[in-house]
Structure 1
Amino acid sequence: MTSKLYVGNLPFEVTEDDLHELFTAHGAVTSANVITDRETGRARGFGFVEMEQADDAQKAIQSLDGQEFKGRNLKVNLAKPREERTGGGGGRGW
């Protein structure tokens, strides 16, 4: 069963390959995504890593949460399920 991890406080220059490599040291990584701004394409400072085994995900959390990576202290924890979004704002609702 895979486990999805939230990775916060990432350096803005970090790539998905960097993230994948960092977490591979703790187990098999299914995917690594750095979230970028839609308009500028610049990294927003957080991402998600999906690991094959829940045990490996827990090891990664214990090892990497609070650790320095490229000058910033990472925040690593289990990702919360994405909340459903309701309709967009700004309209008159007619």
Structure 2
Amino acid sequence: MKLLVRNLSRSTTEQELRILFSAHGTVAECSLVLDQVTGKSKGFGFVEMPNEVEAKAALSTLHETRVAKNKIRVKVAQ
């Protein structure tokens, strides 16, 4: 299941995002969307978790939690 993570701090790294979601299960892929000109985070990214039960648990647990002073939003990617 692919999850969209929004409202991330610009300083949050892919590794931090992977660690955050790994607490809830296996993370197959984790990627931040970067600005092509500056190479800095645009404040959102995607996390792919192969186990749907783990992905739903991560979504419900992490949605609207604070990460680096920002309240992140997690939903199923369309």
Which digits, 9 at most, give the CA deviation of each residue in 1:19-65, with x for residues without a partner?
Answer: 00000000000011011000110100000000010111100111000
Partners of 1:14 and 1:36 lie apart in 2 by 12
What's 2:40 paired with?
Answer: 42
Which digits, 9 at most, give the CA deviation of each residue in 1:53-85, with x for residues without a partner?
Answer: 0111100111000000110001001000xxxxx
The 3-state SS of whatever aligns with 2:24 is: coil
The number of aligned residues is 78
CA RMSD of aligned residues (A): 0.5
1:76 aligns to 2:47 (yes or no): no
The 3-state SS of whatever aligns with 1:6 is: strand
What's 2:56 paired with?
Answer: 58
Where is the helix percentage greater, Structure 1 or Structure 2?
2
User: Where in structure 1 do 4 or more consecutive aligned residues deviate above 4 Å?
Assistant: none
Partners of 1:47 and 1:8 lie apart in 2 by 7
Q: Flag structure 1 segments of 5+ consecutive residues without an equivalent.
A: 81-94
Partners of 1:67 and 1:75 lie apart in 2 by 8
Report the TM-score, using the length of structure 2 for normalisation.
0.98
**Counterpart AA for 1:39:** V
**Counterpart AA for 1:24:** S
User: Which is greater in Rg?
Assistant: 1
